[in-house]
Amino acid sequence: MIGSGLLRNFDVHFNYQEGFIALMKNNRFSYKTDIDRSGLVLEPHRLGALIEQVAEDSHAAELGITAPAIMKEINGKKNNGKQLR
């Protein structure tokens, strides 16, 4: 699954005839990114971030993070859930 946060950095080209999709870097592309690679599916919650799902074989799973749970801090900073939108 690829979210809009990642896709906005690319122009998406569909080649229906040959059956493939190509992603081409656009002017928003940067190697510095806040795209989440944690393996977590998060949603805003009044107490922080609601962990809805943890991907198998992800770093989050290796750390023993399970769903459902509330994440109150991200990188040592309090999280009010608004950063996720």
| Model pLDDT for residues 54-74, shown as the tens digit of each residue | 988 888 899 999 999 998 887
Name the H helices within 27-80.
59-62
Report the pLDDT averaged over residues 33-56: 81
Query: What integer pLDDT is reported at residue 24 of this predicted model?
Result: 94
Query: What integer pLDDT is reported at residue 9 of this predicted model?
Result: 85
Residues 49 and 81: their CA atoms lie apart, in Å, by 5
Domain ranges of the chain: 1-34, 40-84
**pTM, rounded to two decimals:** 0.54
Q: What are the φ/ψ torsions at residue 81 (nearest 5 degrees)?
A: 90, -20
CB 20 within 8 A of CB 38: no
Higher pLDDT, residue 44 or 24: 24
Question: DSSP character for 60?
Answer: H
Query: What integer pLDDT is reported at residue 17 of this predicted model?
Result: 95
